[in-house]
Amino acid sequence: SSFWAVVPAAGIGSRMAAALPKQYLEIAGKTILEHTIERLLSVESIERVVVALHPEDVHWNKLGCASHPRVSAVTGGAERAQSVALALEYIKGCAAQDVWVLVHDAARPCVRIEDIQRLMAAGEGALLAAPISDTVKRAERAQVIETLDRQQLWSAMTPQMFSLNQLHSALTSAAAKGQPVTDEASAIEFVGGRPRLVEASRDNIKVTRPEDLALAEMILTRQRE
Ligand code: CTP
Ligand code: MG
C-alpha cells in the first residue's frame, strides 16, 4: 500500500503571539516547518507531503522545501480540520488508488522517525500517543467534580494515520453534524471507529507557547547527539 503525508500549516499561532506564525520561527538552524517536513521526507515510503497553507501565507516560497519534488502545497481553511479536508481533496485528485494518509502537525518538529515508522506498520487506523503523567481533574467553574482514572488516559499526538477515503468521509460527516474535531481520530471515533494507539516518545511535543521553543530546540539538539 502507499503512504502520503498531510501537514496542516495554515494556523496563525495565536498562543505563541510571535511576529510570524509559529511554523515559520527558526529553531536549531531552520524553521519549525522545515524540520517537520524533512522528517516526513526522510521516510522513503511516504510518496508525497501535502502542506496546507494560510490563504495569505507569504513565507512558504522562501523555504527550500517549497520546490522539493515530493512536496506540494494547497490552501488550507479556517479550522485545522478544514485544512486537512482540503489537503485530502487534493490527494483524491492525484493519487491512483486509496492510500494511507499520515496527518502531522507542522508544529511537531521533534517527532522521531522510528515512531513514524512504527505507526506506518500498524496496518490499521492509528495515532501516536503517550500515557499521561498528570492526575487529571474534571471540573466546572474551577470546582472539581471528579478525578479521572489515569490508567485509561493518553495524550494524543500526530502523525495520525487513516485511509484516505475513510478519513475524508469521517471529516465530512463530522462537519455536516457540527461535531468539533480537534484531531483526525476524533472524526473517526464520531463515525464509530476505534483507532489504535501507538506509544511514542514524549519528544514529540506540540510547539504551542513561547516556552516551548527552547524545549523543542533542546530536544532537536539532543536527538543529534
Ligand atoms: N492549523 C491549520 N489550519 C488552521 C488552524 C491550524 O492547518 N486553520 C495547523 C497549525 O498550523 C498547526 C496545527 O494545525 O500546525 C495544530 O494547530 P495549533 O497548534 O493550534 O496551531 P495554531 O492554530 O496556529 O495555534 P493557535 O491555536 O495558538 O492559534
Ligand atoms: Mg489552533
Share of the chain above pLDDT 90, in %: 97
Closest ligand (CA of 37): 1
- In terms of residue numbers, what domain contains 110? 3-224
88 with 180: CB under 8 angstroms?
no
What CATH number does residue 209 fall under? 3.90.550.10
If one residue of 15, 31, 80 were mutated to test the ligand 1 pocket, choosing by the most ligand atoms within 8 A of its CB, it would be: 80
Q: Whose CA is nearest to atom 16 of ligand 1?
A: 105
Distance 11 CA to ligand 1 centre (A): 4
81 with 187: CB under 8 angstroms?
yes
Helix (H) or strand (E) holding 5, with range, is: strand 3-9
Residues with CB under 6 A from ligand 1: 8-15, 23, 52, 76-80, 83, 105-107, 206, 208
Mean pLDDT of the chain: 97
Beta strand extents in 57-216 (DSSP E only): 71-75, 100-103, 126-131, 137-140, 143-147, 154-163, 196-199
- Grade residue 116 by pLDDT with cuts at 50, 70 and 90: very high
Q: Report the alpha-carbon distance of residue 36 to residue 110 in Å, rounded.
A: 7
Closest ligand (CA of 11): 1
Q: Report the alpha-carbon distance of residue 99 to residue 191 in Å, rounded.
A: 20
Question: 146, 116, 117, 112: which is closest to 224 by C-alpha?
Answer: 112
| Cell representation of residue 55 | 490563504
Question: 31, 30, 29, 28: which is closest to 217 by C-alpha?
Answer: 28
| 121-159 tens-digit pLDDT | 999 999 999 999 999 999 999 999 999 999 999 999 999
Index of the ligand 1 atom closest to the CA of residue 21: 24
Closest ligand (CA of 206): 1
Counting the structural domains of the chain, the total is 1
Residue 117 CB burial class (10 angstroms; 0-12, 13-18, ≥19): exposed
Predicted local distance difference test score (pLDDT) of residue 18: 97
